[in-house]
Amino acid sequence: MKATEQLPLSTNISRSAIIAEFGDSVEFDISLARLTSFRTGGPAKYFLVVKTLDNVARAISSAQRLELPCFIVGGGSNLLISDAGYDGLIIKIEIAGLELIDETVIECGAGESLMSVVKFSESESLTGLEFAAGIWGTIGGAVYGNAGAFGNEIGDVVHELELVNSNGNIKTVDGNYCRFAYRDSYLKTTKEVIATVRIKLHKGKRDEIQKKITDILDVRRDKHPDKLTAGCFFKNIPDSSQPHGKLSAGYLLEEVGAKELSVGGAKVFEKHANMIINAGDATSHDIHQLAALMKEQVKKKFNIELEEEITRIGYF
């Protein structure tokens, strides 16, 4: 099952009403391709950047009053946006800030890149986040999707969150509230917006932390593309007999020869069968069709239905 945000075919709200609610900072018909790591997708009818917790709350409240569909984006690293775009409001979270608020607790603005948080934790000699080195996107997006690597997940270190609900109300919750699961969280159900993340780590030795980060980045450079991609496209399959309790989707795709597959400008990365890249002129439809072909091949040979990690926005 894939996460998909779809809309009515038309959102008919006057330009003046939009400006009255959101102010002059709201933009119209903005290309979303530049916001995603695939560099594909059509325009957003309305687009707003928010940089503070209060502004997030106001934007959500305004969208609610107008009955305007909205979608939250961070770094855009795990999104596939329809070529037709999004007929609603895209709110881009750019809340910044990194602060050590306790001996082992870091407070992060949800718009901070995950890599900036990794580097900050290393500078404070805090260990427990090294696995996230090199993962694209923001800390807010990572928490929302419970990003992970090398048998670790971001949910393991989440201490508290400041959230904004669909009515624009702000609340603070602890990590257990999120009900983290493999590449999933309760926030996908509640549709609450992450504004602030507090992570709890452990004291360590800075030189050892630096070495772990360097080693992980070396692995990523060797196996992951520096091209236009969303990283791993499909989730691994729960299997208690496998390392970390998961059967690798990449292994299954390797076995069906997925590395030879391409559709239009989209192709499977030659070093990793679970990664789709935009070879330069791909459309979101190309990526959609290629993903469907990959799933079909695995289903045919192994009778396993692959589940996508990415979130789709719009109609496919």
| Number of domains, the chain | 3
72 part of a folded domain? yes
Low-confidence ranges of the chain (pLDDT < 50): 1-2, 7-10
Q: Residues 108, 124, 183, 308: which is the catalytic one?
A: 183
Q: Specify whether the CB–CB gap between 26 and 18 falls below 8 A.
A: yes
Strand pairing category for 246-247 and 158-164: unpaired
- Note whether residue 5 is domain-resident: no
Say what the pLDDT of residue 141 is: 96
Catalytic residue flag (residue 39): no
Pick the catalytic residue from 124, 232, 308, 312. 232
pLDDT of 4 reads 54
> Is-catalytic flag, 70?
no
Contacts of 301 (CB under 8 A, 6+ apart): 252, 255, 256
Q: Are residues 80 and 181 in the same domain?
A: no
Q: What is the pLDDT of residues 243-297, one digit of tens each?
A: 778 999 999 999 999 999 999 999 999 999 999 999 989 999 999 999 999 999 9
Q: Do 111 and 190 share a domain, yes or no?
A: yes
Q: Determine the pLDDT at residue 12.
A: 74
Q: What is the pLDDT of residue 226?
A: 79
Annotated catalytic residue, options 124, 160, 192, 309: 309
Residue 310 CA to residue 305 CA, distance in Å, equals: 15
CATH number where 73 lies: 3.30.43.10
What pLDDT, on the 0 to 100 scale, is given for residue 62? 95
Q: Tell whether 267 is covered by a domain.
A: yes
Active site residue 232: yes
Instruction: Tell me how far the alpha carbon of residue 166 is from its chain's centroid.
Output: 20
pLDDT, position 245? 87
pLDDT of residue 244: 79
Whether residues 89 and 102 share a domain: the answer is no
- Let me know the angle formed at the C-alpha of 110 by 221 and 125, rounded to the nearest 5 degrees: 60
Residue 113 belongs to a domain: yes
